[in-house]
Structure 1
Amino acid sequence: MNATQALGGHDHVFLGASHDRNQRRTMIVVGITALTMVAEIVGGYVYGSMALLADGFHMSTHAGALLVAALAYRFARRHAHDPAFTFGTGKVGDLAAFASAIILGMIAILIAVDSIWRLVFPVEIHFSPAIAVAVIGLAVNLVSAALLHEGSGHSHGHSHAPHAHDDDHHDHDSHHHHDHGAGRDHNLRAAYVHVLADAATSVLAITALVAGQLFNWVWLDPAVGILGAVLIASWAIQLMRDSGRILVDTVPDPELAADMRTKLEQDGSHVTDLHLWRVGPGHNAAVISLVPAAPATPEAYRRRLSGLAGLSHVTIEVQPVQAG
């Protein structure tokens, strides 16, 4: 029994509702993607297609990022009850997503440089076999996207008996309740975005190869390689922003924060401090300090928040009412 449990506390397991399922599906996609990646890179070098190489190297980043995502799921599950993680391991997936975004951006730069080199120094392209390999790559991307597609299921929190800690100055109440909100698993989203981006570059590669074969536009293949690099970079930047905001504890839902304040202040009480941040997919934590309109317990204010979805860990500090 750890110290928190000895004091009547609770665990801090804030994993997504489909954590284990997402891990299994991600590992399947890692295997499929790795095999296709090898075929596209080899095919690109053998047939002289920069667009196919761009697609293959892009897919290699996805294979690596998907592997990181799968390992992040495993790590988060293994250390879910580790007291060293103050608010659990629910944000490990966001860290993995941020890391994969950085790698994706670096690969985009390499593809752009290689494509520019091919524009200056063109090479012979064997269009028909290159097109065949690119079509196979697209098919794999679509299958992977289907496997990683997040269904419409709700994420569910968990309930614990509330407890309060009283001292001379304030009361604390930590509270869990069911979360039926549509909390997103950013780790799974990162994996899904990777395969969608790869599907888009596959389409670009096929388009460039077909047009090049029909009109003998050899320059179009490296030009599309540059376009693919730009697309990859844009996905990387967006993914970095989304996961980075979670890692630095920005307010995940301003509307939820406003609703919390409204409910707590409805009787004239005054919220002096409100912190809201995400601790895992579908799980938000909050620390609130308020001055009550009349003497009240944290339990009374907790009940006001019970109808709000997405709150999995709430600490309320009720400051003493000053004598008039």
Structure 2
Amino acid sequence: MGAGIGHHHGPGQGAAGGDGQAQGRGHGHGHGHGHGHSHGLATAGGAHRGRLRIALSITLLVLATEVAGSLLTGSLALLADAGHMATDAVGLAMALLAVHVAARPPSERRTFGYARAEILAAGLNALLLLAVGVFIFYEGIRRLITPHGIDGGPTIVFGVIGLVANSVSLVVLMAGQKESLNVRAAFLEVLSDAFGSLAVVAAAAVYLVSGWRQADAVASLLIGVLIVPRTWQLMREALDVLLEAAPRGVDMRQVRRHIEGLAGVEGLHDLHAWTITSGLPVLSAHVVVSQDVLDAVGYEKMLHDLQGCLGAHFDVAHCTFQLEPAGHAAHEPGMCR
């Protein structure tokens, strides 16, 4: 879907319908490469739906085990890790729901479909983690002031169960965590759980050996320290997508230099790059091209050159270009340079 003459693209508008699609216009002459799509967008998270289901099943099993263990032993660290597991279960469930929603086809009103549902789920997941982190810090400080004894032996047993289960989930989610923000959130949650389970075992062992009653509270605070920085990182990445920041790894100054370096390109404006959802970066631009070059090579060749230039150097395959003659930009109100 390309822009028509005299129309301005804001961020998030005028994205191409598929890889290498673009539309050019100059003095009313256009050449399009668009293809209609009636199906849903294939999001990165959707490819790992089965892995998320497995991780959710393991998380629910460990959650039930740790709650029972905390009630039997009185371990705050075990209860803190169970609370984190509960948050993970909610987060994984939201991730699965978001994957399902994101697979719905585009409509006349939602032209990109519901692909952003996965990013919204990741943002909500970060908020949940922040709440859990605050609660663990509060309880940990309270237990430091008023320490309680724990049943060390059973606590170690339940902690080891959690550690083994989390290790299995880490292996399951490893393949998808680099491709999807949703899956990465789940992976980081499970990774933090694994450290939490390790902290539970260590605290119980210290208590058994030395009798230091604050060990459980210190382990809880360490779990909180693991949660909060990760939560901030998840929130930043989700906000970057929602606020339509340029995709990570795409230097917009270099993009501009590459486009302006093509033969026949006289200028560039309204250059925007953003991410619809994980694995779906898009770009749009108004490119001022010499009329002599357009007459010599044609719109088709110019569009292919632009697409090939970006595809060879940047991780942006979905592009929309508007080709313009010199002076046309003056007729575009509100232009963003």
Q: Please, which of 209, 228, 232 is the counterpart of residue 204 of structure 2?
A: 209
TM-score normalised by the chain length of structure 2: 0.78
Deviates more, 1:223-232 or 1:117-126: 117-126
Residue 9 of structure 1, CA deviation: 4.4
Note if contact 1:51-1:205 (Cα within 8 Å) is conserved in structure 2: yes
Amino acid aligned to 1:50: L
SS at match of 1:124: coil
Contact 2:274 2:281 in 1 (8 A): yes
Corresponding residue number in structure 1 for 2:235: 240
* CA shift for structure 1 position 99: 0.5
CA distance in 1, matches of 2:251, 2:304: 15
- Cα offset for 1:151? 5.9
Query: Is 2:250 the counterpart of 1:223?
Result: no
Of 55, 58, 79, the residue aligned with 1:32 is 58
Cα distance change, pair 277–302 in 1 and its aligned pair in 2 (3 A): farther
Distance in structure 1 (CA, Å) of the matches to 2:91 and 2:286:
40
Cα distance in 1 for partners of 2:44, 2:217 equals 43
Match of 2:199, as an amino acid?
Answer: L
Equivalent residue, structure 1, for 2:77:
51
> Which residue of structure 1 lines up, in the alignment, with residue 136 of structure 2?
111
Cα distance between partner residues in 2 of 1:301 and 1:259: 19
2:41–2:102 CA contact under 8 A, matched in 1:
no
**Pairing 1:155-304 to 2, within 5 Å after superposition:** 184-253=179-248, 255=250, 257-266=252-261, 267=263, 268-295=265-292, 296=294, 299=300, 300-304=302-306
Alpha-carbon separation, structure 1, partners of 2:283 and 2:101 = 25
- Which digits, 9 at most, give the CA deviation of each residue in 1:126-149, with x for residues without a partner? 000011000000111000111111
Instruction: Give the AA of the match of 1:321.
Output: A
SS for the counterpart of 1:15 is coil
Give the aligned partner of residue 315 of structure 1: 320
Residue type at the aligned position of 2:303: Y
Contact 1:298 1:316 in 2 (8 A): no
Q: Which amino acid aligns with 1:305?
A: Q
CA distance in 2, matches of 1:105, 1:14: 31
- What is the letter of the counterpart of residue 293 of structure 1? S
Q: What is the Cα deviation at residue 224 of structure 1?
A: 1.5
In 2: Cα distance, 1:220 partner to 1:52 partner: 12
The alpha-carbon distance between structure 1 residues 269 and 14, as it changes in their structure 2 partners (threshold 3 A), is farther
**Per-residue CA shift, 1:6-54, capped at 9, x if unaligned?**
x97422844235624x111111211110111121122113201111111
The percentage of aligned residue pairs carrying the same residue is: 30
Give, in whole Å, the separation in 1 of the partners of 2:169 and 2:249: 33
**Secondary structure at 2:149's aligned position in 1?**
coil
- The answer to whether the 8 Å contact 1:14/1:280 transfers is no
1:293 Cα deviation (Å)? 3.3
**Structure 2: how far apart are the matches of 1:199 and 1:192?**
11
Q: CA RMSD for the aligned pairs?
A: 2.5
CA distance in 1, matches of 2:114, 2:172: 24
Select which of 15, 39, 59 maps to 2:42: 15
Corresponding residue for residue 140 of structure 1: 165
Write out the 4+ residue segments of structure 1 that deviate beyond 6 Å after TM superposition.
none
- Give the whole-Å Cα distance in 1 for the aligned partners of 2:299 and 2:70: 64
Query: Structure 1: any 5+ residue segments left out of the alignment?
Result: 153-182
Q: For residue 126 of structure 2, what is the aligned residue in structure 1?
A: 101
Maintained 8 Å contact 1:14/1:279: no
Going from structure 1 to structure 2, the CA distance change for 1:8 and 1:94 (only over 3 Å counts) comes to: closer
Is contact 1:58-1:107 (8 Å) kept?
yes
Report the number of matched residues.
Answer: 287
In the alignment, the residues of structure 1 paired with residue 230 and residue 75 of structure 2 have an alpha-carbon distance, to the nearest angstrom, of 23
Question: Residues 192 and 223 of structure 2 are in contact (CA less than 8 Å); yes or no, is this contact kept in structure 1?
Answer: no
Alignment of 1:85-100 (within 5 A): 85-100=110-125
What SS class does the counterpart of residue 280 from structure 1 fall into?
coil
Q: Tell me, yes or no, if the aligned pair for 1:44 and 1:130 is still in contact at 8 Å.
A: yes
> Do the aligned partners of residues 16 and 125 (structure 1) sit closer, same or farther apart at CA in structure 2, a change above 3 Å counting?
same
**Is the Cα contact below 8 Å between 2:40 and 2:102 reproduced in 1?**
no
Unaligned 5+ runs, structure 2 = 1-15, 18-32, 329-337
